[in-house]
A and B are shown apart, each in its own frame.
Chain A
Amino acid sequence: MADVLCPICGKSNPTELEDCQFCGARLTPLSPSTPSASQPIKAGDNPVVKKTSEFEKVKITPGDFVHPGEAPTEKSTGALESTLPAWLRTLRKGDDSAGAESTPDAIPDQSLPLSSAPDTSSESSDDQPDWLTGLGKAASDDEKEIPDWLESLREEKPGTSPQEFMSLQEPALNQTGSLSPGVGDAEWAARLGSEPKPETPETKPQGDQQGGEASLNWLDSLESDSGVPNAEGQPVAPQDEALNDWLSGLPGSSEENQPEPPREAENLPGMLNLLQEKTLEPELAPLEDDGKAADSEIPDWLSKLGSTPVTTEVPGKESLPDWLSDMETKAGPESVATESNFSSDLPTPGATGEEIPGWLSPLPADAKATENPVSEKEKFDEAPPPSAVREGTGPMPMWLAGIERSKTPKDGTPALITNDEGPGSERNHGAAFSLEMPDWLSKLNPEHASEKPSMGITEPSTPENLGISELPSWVQAMRPVESVLSDTKITPQEDAQVTEQTGPLAGLQGVLPSSPGLGTLRKPPAYNSILKVTDGQQRYTAALERLISSETQPQAAKRSRLASNRLWRWLIAFLLFLAVGLPLIMGIPVTPASTLQPPEMVSAFTIISTLPSNAPVLVVFDYDPALSGELEAAASPLMDHLLLQGPRLALISTSPTGPALAERFLHDTSASPLVAGYNYQPGQQYVNLGYLAGGPAGVQYFANSPTKAAQYTLDGQPAWTLPPLQGVRVLSDFAAVIVLTDNADSGRIWIEQAGSMVGNSPMLMVISAQAEPMILPYYDSGQIKGLVTGLAGGEAYGQTFIRPDSRPGLTERYWDSFSVGTLVMEILIVAGAIWSAIAGWRARLDKSGEKV
């Protein structure tokens, strides 16, 4: 225990040595806290703090990465080595006697590559290179987590043989991984710290379950705390967040992270207690004393559990990408992922599995088990049918096995374990990979199988091969896209369809469904927070995939958008302003007045001119302020004409801005000088009934009973007693209804809802040019009696109706600009269209040229 582990070769050296006597790597990182990992934690001292300091030193924010070429800081890796969970280090052991494994100084000599472990099943031994090489490939991934670790390790020990190199990656990766357990456990341990009273040894399994639920709550609280920044997508340095949580878990600031400390505090120690019962090891005594030492202690009791490399290497491998994702997801995902790492390692089907975080749930089970160890032993001895293990539990159940074994080393379980774990683990690798990168692999396979051996493995175990029941829940959960894709059967044509459409995106077909539609979403199992983790998985696969086929670059596809062309905009803007402005400034008429006499306009004119004087007329202002320019220009001749008849006006609108527009029209000289000249007084010559809410319903309500629907004027007086509305009770009492609208929909609403109620009174419309095709048919069908369309219609009306004052109306003033501006616009469109057609045609040719 007094020895120091070499961070590189893992062999033990005397503490006084500065450098490893075997590999020469630096042993003592520049921080004092290094030995704490290997030394038993004394009561009182607080390794957690030291660890945090270590973590902060080796913060893995992209900035801090040792990038290829840079000299790596020994400190970082050395420091992390000290934080490396002991149980992970025990991975390197072959199948050794369970008793010694937890003592670090036993580790060194067996610390050679897993792949070379004699007892690992052939599958696992030959997909070992895959995931490791996968990591190696990930080195060129954009977001570099592993790569840099690999870099730093590589450069620290230049002459590393590939074989050792693989084994070296593991500590490195596990270090990164150990961050996320660190978080969860720290929180968890924080409650221990905050709870003065010692744990009650006779805590029952139920207690553990409560603890499980309780700890869920604090996971929740973590999630909810960090949910907001996550949703906002505020870029936060993930590790910082992680560490903050982590630190906040320390006794000092533990309150905020603990929804209900007391419950937890009594439950969790109980759990530890059970651990103690199971593992009659001295090391665990200190472990309970200061449970604060979460990070170092968790690994320790895990090291009790994980006995054979095959056992623990499996979670190690599976959750590897999760950890990587943890390194970069924010606090919320971080905590979620922490939980999910554990839960993912232990798929517990059924309700309890949903209630208890994975890393807690085995313990009740064990506790029950330990109450009658014999039966438990039997259970393990009579090798359960593989299927049971397969569907029930993932890799982690080996914890149980490990516990059993560590309790009774002579037990025959190891063989049993390897028997059904070997295939189990191999299946899980297969599952993990095939599920992360399912379709695009099988798609890519024809071209790329030769390039990557890993295809060989991932291929057979595509989700199709695996029945859902066979998949551990965490594996299912690791496949958001899969769970999306789940039920879509990939019929040949769908397959072809996708490949044909996504040329450069071929690589994305694991992310994208390979059938019309994205597949029916199967409701994922309880811990769907794992989906967050799978984001990391996808980046991981994406990295791998990019390396597999360098020509498939989704980014490229994304960027293949039209670049908007500023110059064109400026040219258009300049020319249009010129064309519109000059005629207005010069004021020399260049365009002959409109000679058109559209029948709908003429009939509108005749209706207005036949209106009796002092007749009540309803004018509906249903246009946006945006189109006030056009509508005012179009309507002003008609309104001038109307006002010559001296009607009583009622104004209403179904848009909140309508009333203000109505007021403006009546009073603002810029709309219609003539109308403004009348200086209409509210309540005397006109009534502004204001805003009619409710869209068609409101219109219908108003059409059916105007007096109820619009009782008050804009300024709050009861409307229907005012002189302008004398004798008006129903809609048909109005001599005419004139609708000014820019929107075909609101025009149709008035026609359909109010048309039947106006009786013999005519309904006229002044519409924006854009609404013509939809509104005009109603003129043909006789539902509206007259129509003025846009500026041109207004101009035509203006030509028919000669103003008393010879002042030119708006339309006359706009007319020249209108004709010149439109002409310029037409020329621009023609020229530009031809230009871009040629350009597009060229681009198409180039593309086809590249393809050939």
Chain B
Amino acid sequence: MSIGLELAGFGLVFLSAAMMLGLSFLRRKSRPVFRDIPAFTRLRQAVGLAVEDGSRLHLSLGRGALITPQSASALAGLALLRRLAELTSAGDQPPIATSGDATLTILSQDALQAAAKYFDQNVSDPMTGRLTGLTPFSYAAGAIAAIRDEKVSANILMGNFGVEVALMTDAVERENSFVLAGSDNLTAQAVIYASAQEPLIGEEIFAAGAYVNSGSMHSASLTVQDILRWLIIAAILVGALLTLAGVL
């Protein structure tokens, strides 16, 4: 890694950090408008229905180990989980969270309990945040059992999956319940695109927080993503033209 690249990387991170902080403070009051993502509209309905008929939400956080780059999608899923736990606190049952990595299981339990404490409820139950398996397919298999056996009305699969996610979406379809799925893994996305009712494509899973209003920081980060996006596009185009001209 050349020094220049490292500097550029640091600059990029620093820039986006500054922008996020700034925006999140500026945007305290007014939430920016974001494009409509049907999946999240459906999610809102699903949450409402779950609260309404006392059924459960099931959020699966995938199997990305926390100390790998794949953790980000799971972290996004955890933010969503926390939020869903708050939203469904009016309902009879807290959401259940399944995961394929032990650290994620612990975090999902923490998130659920934090939300419960927030509402003075007492949910210290291993059943709500479970590890369903430590290898990709055993995780998926365990999640299938959860999808089928619990009284789940809506499944949200958000995290790092592989092809095994197809088993889960298929189980959901057999159960005839709602599924919203997204992953940072391209292959999993392709499978989800074909097999899930409401696929989240690529980056969209990271927008979940903002779309369920987890706070100004979340919407700020979306705006920052947009800004960076155009910066990168500009860089790519300029760079490509320069390469064409033979400068680079």
Which residues of chain A have a CB within 8 Å of any CB of chain B?
Answer: 220, 223-224, 227-228, 230-233, 329-330, 332-333, 336, 480-481, 484, 488, 497, 501-502, 505, 508, 511-513, 516-521, 523-524, 526-529, 531-532, 534-535, 538-539, 542, 554-555, 557-559, 561-564, 624-626, 656-657, 694-697, 742-745, 756, 770-771, 773-774
Contact = CB atoms under 8 A, between A and B. Distances in A.
A773 B48 CA distance: 40
B92 A517 contact: no
A233 B56 CA distance: 9
A481 B190 CA distance: 35
Interface of B: 1, 31, 33-34, 36, 38, 40-41, 44-45, 47-49, 51-54, 56, 65, 67-70, 83, 86-87, 89-94, 118-125, 127-128, 134-137, 150-151, 153, 162-164, 173-174, 176-178, 185-187, 190, 197, 210-213, 215-216
Contacts of A562: 173, 176, 197
B127 A232 contact: yes
B54 A227 contact: no
Contacts of B137: 624-626
A519 B213 contact: yes
Given A512-B45, A538-B51, A564-B173, A228 B67 contact: no
A564 B176 contact: yes
Contact of B90 (A220, A535, A771): A535
A531 B119 contact: yes
A223 B121 contact: yes
B49 A624 contact: no
Contacts of A697: 67-68
Contact of B127 (A231, A534, A539): A231
A516 B187 contact: no
Given A518-B44, A561-B197, A564-B176, A626 B136 contact: yes
Contact of B178 (A232, A561, A657): A561
Contacts of A511: 48, 51-52
Given A233-B93, A535-B91, A555-B53, 9 more contacts: A481-B90, A501-B38, A511-B52, A512-B44, A512-B47, A518-B83, A538-B90, A554-B48, A563-B176
A224 B122 CA distance: 6
Given A227-B125, A516-B34, A564-B176, A528 B49 contact: no
Most A CB within 10 A of own CB, among B45, B67, B178: B45
B93 A231 contact: yes
23 contacts: A220-B122, A230-B93, A231-B128, A232-B127, A233-B92, A480-B90, A484-B87, A511-B51, A516-B211, A518-B44, A523-B118, A527-B120, A529-B120, A531-B89, A531-B90, A535-B92, A561-B176, A561-B178, A624-B136, A624-B137, A696-B68, A745-B185, A774-B186
The 10 closest A-B pairs by CB, nearest first: A695-B68, A480-B90, A517-B213, A511-B48, A227-B122, A231-B125, A512-B48, A233-B93, A528-B119, A231-B123
Nearest to A533: B90
A554 B54 CA distance: 13
Contacts of A773: 186
A696 B90 contact: no
A727 B127 CA distance: 52
Nearest to B150: A233
Given A223-B122, A770-B163, A516 B33 contact: yes
Contact of A516 (B36, B90, B120): B36
Given A508-B45, A518-B87, A231 B51 contact: no
B66 to A, nearest CB: 10
A230 B70 contact: no
Nearest to B162: A743
Given A227-B123, A624-B136, A694-B67, A501 B215 contact: no
Contacts, number: 179
Contact of B92 (A230, A521, A524, A542): A230
Contacts of A480: 51, 87, 89-90
A743 B135 CA distance: 14
Given A513-B44, A518-B87, A564 B174 contact: yes
Contacts of B153: 558
A508 B49 contact: yes
Contacts of A505: 45, 48
B151 A233 contact: yes
Given A531-B89, A558-B49, A561-B197, A695 B67 contact: yes
A529 B44 contact: no
A694 B71 CA distance: 12
Given A517-B212, A518-B212, A534-B90, A657 B187 contact: no
A496 to B, nearest CB: 11
Contacts of B134: 656
B43 to A, nearest CB: 9
Contact of A502 (B36, B45, B86, B212): B45
A537 to B, nearest CB: 9
Given A508-B45, A516-B211, A554 B87 contact: no
Contacts of A656: 134-135
A373 B164 CA distance: 74
Contacts of A233: 56, 92-93, 150-151
Contacts of A564: 173-174, 176
A517 B215 CA distance: 10
A706 to B, nearest CB: 19
B79 to A, nearest CB: 13
A524 B119 contact: yes
A508 B48 contact: yes
Contacts of B52: 508, 511, 538-539, 542, 554
Most B CB within 10 A of own CB, among A535, A694, A743, A773: A535
Contacts of B212: 517-518
A520 B83 CA distance: 10
Contact of B70 (A227, A501, A518, A745): A745
Contacts of A532: 89-90, 121
Contacts of A512: 44-45, 47-48
Most A CB within 10 A of own CB, among B36, B124, B174, B212: B212
A520 B151 contact: no
Contacts of A224: 122
Contacts of B211: 516-517
Nearest to B46: A558
A187 to B, nearest CB: 17
A437 to B, nearest CB: 12
Contacts of B33: 516
Most B CB within 10 A of own CB, among A233, A513, A624, A694: A233
Given A223-B122, A517-B212, A770 B187 contact: yes
Contact of B69 (A497, A513, A555, A696): A696
Given A517-B213, A532-B90, A771 B51 contact: no
Contact of B177 (A497, A520, A561, A695): A561
Contacts of B83: 518
Contacts of A332: 121-122
Nearest to A505: B45
Contacts of A625: 135, 137
B97 to A, nearest CB: 12
Contacts of A695: 65, 67-70
Contacts of B163: 626, 770
Most B CB within 10 A of own CB, among A333, A517, A521, A745: A517
B193 to A, nearest CB: 13
B32 to A, nearest CB: 10
A563 B124 CA distance: 36
Most A CB within 10 A of own CB, among B51, B93, B122, B162: B122
A625 B138 CA distance: 11
Contacts of B210: 517
Nearest to A221: B122
A558 B53 CA distance: 11
A517 B94 contact: no
Nearest to B134: A656
Contacts of B47: 512, 518
A625 B67 CA distance: 22
